[in-house]
Amino acid sequence: MNVYDFTVKDRMGNDVSLKDYEGKVLLIVNTATGCGFTPHYEPLEAMYKEFRDKGFEILDFPCNQFADQAPGSDDEIHEFCTLKFGTEFPQFTKIDVNGETADPLFAYLATEKPFEGFGKGLKMAALKKFADANNKKFGDKAYIKWNFTKFLIDREGNVVTRFEPTADMADVKAAVAAML
């Protein structure tokens, strides 16, 4: 099994087989428009512009399960991202990434590369405490700990690594560049 075995919904509600992305390096991200990590859209878009001609795609999945930080409709979220950050990478319909209603793709990704922590420091400890309280309601199905968790997928559809939202975006870019 790999990511090509999954079908997701585009923001218009149409089925999209991830097999359509076969042979590309993917960065799959759960996002939110009202999060402290929302500025990640800027380096993500810069990465997309720099690498898309080399076989790179970013797949953006908005999620409102973390402190209600993506409350808008699919169209409102898309408009926000394109107007504020100029995003051009594919954005899919808003999904759940945790609990009984978790999208199967994210349950798979998180099972392949489980959470290993946010890192060290006061900010990381504060985020962990807040995330733990938020995710308590999902029990053993709290697959994703916060917005802007990123999964790097190789050209064969295998999950290579997981980046928590606290990861340095320069490290994310370096990992993507190494795969290309």
Distance separating alpha carbons of residues 177 and 180, to the nearest angstrom: 5
Catalytic residue list contains 35: yes
pLDDT of residue 145: 95
Could you tell me the pTM of the whole model?
A: 0.95
Q: Is residue 140 a contact partner of residue 100, using CB atoms and an 8 Å limit?
A: no
Per-residue CA distances from 26 to 79, 90, 153 (Å): 23, 11, 5
* pLDDT of res. 121: 85
- CA-to-CA distance for 38 and 53, rounded, in angstroms? 25
Q: Which of 35, 47, 97, 176 is labelled catalytic? A: 35
The mean pLDDT value of the chain amounts to 95
List, in order, residues 6 or more apart from 42 with CB less than 8 Å away. Answer: 85
Quick: pLDDT tens for 30-70: 999 988 899 999 999 999 999 999 999 999 999 999 989 99
Which residues in the chain land under pLDDT 70?
Answer: none
| CA dist 34 → 65, 71, 100, 150, 177 (Å) | 12, 8, 24, 17, 28
Q: Which residues pair with 153 in a beta bridge?
A: 26, 159
Domains annotated for the chain, with CATH where assigned, are 3-179 (3.40.30.10)
Spatial separation of the C-alpha atoms in residues 34 and 111, rounded to whole Å: 27
